[in-house]
Amino acid sequence: MAHHPKHVTALLAAILLGGGGGAYAVAALGPDPALLPVTQLVQDVEPLPLAPQSDALQAHSFNLYRSEVTRSSDTIDSLLGRLGINDPEAAAYLRNHAVVRMELLGRGGRHVTAEANAQHGLVALTARWSAEDPRQFRRLVVQRQYGRFTIWVENAPLEPSLRLGSGTLQTSLFAAVDDAGIPDEVALQLVDIFAGEIDFHRGLRRGDRFHVVYETLEADGEPLRTGRVVSVEFRNAGRTLQAVWFQEPGKPGGYYSLDGQSMERAYLASPMQVSRVTSGFAMRMHPIHQVWRQHLGVDYGAPTGTPVRAVGQGTVDFAGSMGGYGNVVIIDHGRGETTLYGHLSRIDVRMGQAVARGQNVGAVGSTGWATGPHLHFEFRDNGVHKDPQMVARRSQGLELSAASRPAFNATVRSMRLQLEAANAAGGAAFALAR
């Protein structure tokens, strides 16, 4: 190779080219698969006997489960019919049992689950409803064993679980929670939490968005009641508000911003959870006297009978009729500050009674000088009328103690992750794995 490199290189190239050509030739000389003979085999197959399979299916029982919610107009027959039960013997037993009649008939909203056999006969029936103790529920159980029915009623603990939800306002807050599958009770809590920050009567905007983490209290794995809002983020008119529930040792719990400032103000922004402002704290044409004058309060339009609540704690200074105000409650909050609730259809407190912030004091009406059902609400500071909504916003909450900061910060970190998950949920609500 050292003396004749060109000859050696040429020889190797010829060998390689020849080998490649040979391989191609051998492959090309094989038989055409389309010309190969085809053999068809036909063989009888004996299927497994059907009788044993049918017998096995007959021996295996399938029980069916169905759940319903009772209606106040229900009879035993109508309830069993919705549950898919066709069992005259069970129907007669339930109709004649005093406990069943007392706990199910005429009691709307109770959760009922029935277990039926393949012939639609009743195997078991369980009804669940709220107990007086908010931590428990009542359970009615009917069981059929060996052809006989047994029945009992017992208390059982509610199991809390967390759910996440997110919604966008198009028409109203309640429409947004309905679209997201979130209970209305959560919307009411959001109004209370941000009552000092958001005017829910005039300040909501289309496109406002919220993300919320809330408790549900479950009975045997089924949601029975809505618990507390645990954390929430509300984006309103270009600003973002956040709140988290936290309880310091030895103190009542409350809502705080994520930097530790209490969300609870001394006064609620509104004496009603759901209403609309029909006349604000401004000049207006008086609807009865037809003259322009300063309106010294805020009017809230709502149906007769809508609950009215105290915006702050205090003592009832007056409860009765007062001329054009109609039925009135006046509450003294101390420091010269009082609130007045007028045109009430009924009064639920008495003079001298201590009332808590948010406690019902009466109901909307049209007594006195009123053209329709509404609440007239005033705030006075040493006899001087003030805009109630401005007063509520200026009233400050308390800050967390230094000793509780580490535990609060750990809670905030956890809640941030859950709110991010609620945001990712889009416009839906779902359970959070425990």
- pLDDT score at 282: 39
Domains of the chain as residue ranges with CATH: 64-157 (3.10.450.350), 160-264+402-431 (3.10.450.350), 276-394 (2.70.70.10)
Tens-digit pLDDT profile for residues 84-96: 999 999 999 999 9
236: closest CA among 259, 203, 278? Answer: 203
Measured in residues, the chain has a length of: 434
For the sheet containing 222-236, what is the strand order?
254-256, 239-246, 222-236, 209-219, 159-168, 429-431
Q: Which amino acid is at 363?
A: A
| Under-70 pLDDT residues of the chain | 1-31, 57-61, 274-295, 389-398, 425-434
Q: What is the pLDDT of residue 270?
A: 80
pLDDT score for 4: 53
Distance of CA 250 to the CA centre of its chain: 29
pTM: 0.62
- Residue 381, CB half-sphere, CA atoms under 13 Å: how many? 6
Q: Note the pLDDT of residue 427.
A: 58
- Reference 84, options 62, 108, 68, 107; nearest CA is 68
